[in-house]
Amino acid sequence: MSVTIPPAARRSEGSAPVASVVVDEFARANGLTDYLQTSQTLIRASFDVAYPLELNKIDDPDSSSRWIEVSARVRGQIAEVREAHRRYTRAWLAAVPTDKALLVRLAIQIV
């Protein structure tokens, strides 16, 4: 399930994107609601984000794993984005318990 935020529904840069019911339910059931906000705050602090952010609930049929993917389109050169990803990862792992960190994953597309 993928949700792209239409221009009229986008919030200001500091706000969380609109999420689907499926993503919301998974986040609530797994205690991720606050951590999703943390992830988005760290993404905005680490990367030059080009909107929209997308939240997707991923079900891996091979491993039976499930998680929320935060997809971000970012601007920058490969080396800059790689360093930004390192900064984000360090901050994310420092801010979130490991069991919760594994349930929210970042996907980056350079634009």
pLDDT in tens, 56-73: 999 999 999 999 999 999
- Quote the number of domains for the chain: 1
Given CA atoms 86, 55, 37, 15 in this order, what sign does their dihedral have? positive
CATH number at residue 89: 3.30.300
- Of 63, 87, 58, 57, nearest to 74 by C-alpha is 87
Task: Quote the percentage of the chain above a pLDDT of 70.
Answer: 83
Across the range 23-45, mean pLDDT stands at 95
d(CA 101, CA 35): 8
Q: Report the alpha-carbon distance of residue 111 to residue 109 in Å, rounded.
A: 6
Instruction: Please say whether the beta carbons of 47 and 84 come within 8 A.
Output: yes
Please tell me which residue, 37 or 1, carries the higher pLDDT value.
Answer: 37
Question: What does pTM read for this prediction?
Answer: 0.79
Domain span including residue 96: 2-110
Q: How many CB atoms lie within 10 A of CB 108?
A: 19
